[in-house]
Amino acid sequence: MIEILNLQALALQALSRPTQALEVLAKSLVLAEPEGYARIYLDSGEPMQQLLFQFTSMEPAGPIQDYAARLG
Interval 2-38: pLDDT, tens: 999 999 999 999 999 999 999 999 999 999 999 999 9
pTM above 0.85, yes or no: yes
Structural domain tally of the chain? 1
Domain that holds residue 14: 2-71
Q: Is 45 left (phi over 0), alpha (psi -120 to 50) or beta?
A: left
Provide CB contacts within 8 A for 12, sequence distance 6+: 18, 20, 21, 24
Report, as an integer, the average pLDDT of 46-71: 92
Dist CA 60 CA 44 (whole Å): 24
